[in-house]
Amino acid sequence: MRGLSAFPITPSDADGVVRVDALQRLLRPLVDARVHSIGLLGSTGSYPYLSRPERRRAIEAAADEVAGRVPLLVGVGALRTDEAIRLAQDARAGGAAAGLLAAVSYTPLTEDEVFEHYKAVAGESGLPLCIYDNPTTTHFRFSPELIARLAALPGVAAVKLPGGEPQALAAQMADLRARVPADFALGHSGDWFAVEAMLAGGEAWYSVVAGILPQVCMDIVAAVRAGNATEARRLNAALEPLWGLFREFSSLRVVYEIAERRGVCAAEPPLPVRRLPEAARQRVAAVLDGMDPALLR
């Protein structure tokens, strides 16, 4: 749960059946680029829309494709604690190295309820967990105090934080680092925030775009690790046209379009989510056509 974690889509048919061949085609470039982990069944992978059997199908297909070469971080979020436990057990049995657990809710949750949820899933599944703080979708925001409580639990090993304003990131990272064990990993999502988050001390980048364009993301991580902030920011700036599309249309819809435009797979997102309208699809095509081919490896 450090370095670059690449989050691919999960291609499925209209009935929600995972298309194994298409998923494996998406994973091959990630393995070839030597990403540090693959974030299977994350939000980009549409985990809330897939049944338990289809989640198992995706895990089995991914495990067969990566063959132990890249660790799998598997989304195990569910509304019910007992269901999340079963999903985490499935992930562990299927070969996942860790689970990504969001505080999925309908009735708003309290901090104590979320704490007990994580304690149960970690304790009963035996799968190391990464806290998934995704307030945009779950409507629950993890406080620093709650992250510290959870970090003290056996089996809770990392946190995936949402992006934030660059000027606030260093203070946020310093505050969290002072609260959690030294081996607890701090990472961020929100691709356009990632460079500044890593420069501020973030240890992981949980990336949507790395699920379809892994090499440029690996180049960014390498630049950060080498202390070359100028190069990391240059590459990030070159991707700004994509970030603009992500912000306007959602990264999920845009990545489905990129996957088709690049000939990796043609797939529809799970209903009721729909593909971009034609005018937006043409904008994605124009952005891709205008990008330096070196960024599209």
Q: Detail the residues annotated as belonging to a binding site.
A: 44
Distance between CA 166 and CA 122 in Å, rounded? Answer: 32
Q: Active site includes 160?
A: yes
Which of these is catalytic: 47, 106, 119, 132? 132
222 closest CA partner among 6, 66, 35, 97: 35
Distance between CA 27 and CA 155 in Å, rounded? Answer: 27
Distance between CA 236 and CA 7 in Å, rounded? Answer: 18
170 closest CA partner among 194, 188, 197: 197
Which of these is catalytic: 47, 118, 160, 256? 160
Known binding residues for pyruvate: 44
How many residues are present in the chain?
A: 297
Residue 138, token pair as written in the block: 């779950």
Distance between CA 52 and CA 232 in Å, rounded? Answer: 39
- The residue written with tokens 């260093």 in the block is 170
155 closest CA partner among 120, 126, 124: 126
Cis before 241? omega within 30: no
Residue 237, token pair as written in the block: 């700036």
Instruction: List % helix, strand, coil for the chain (3-state, nearest 5).
Output: 55, 10, 35
129 closest CA partner among 74, 177, 183, 186: 74
Could you tell me which residues come within 8 angstroms of residue 93 by beta carbon, excluding any fewer than 6 positions away?
Answer: none
Confirm if 41 and 10 have CB atoms less than 8 A apart.
yes
Distance between CA 161 and CA 148 in Å, rounded? Answer: 13
Q: Active site includes 119?
A: no
Task: Please give the positions annotated as active site.
Answer: 132, 160
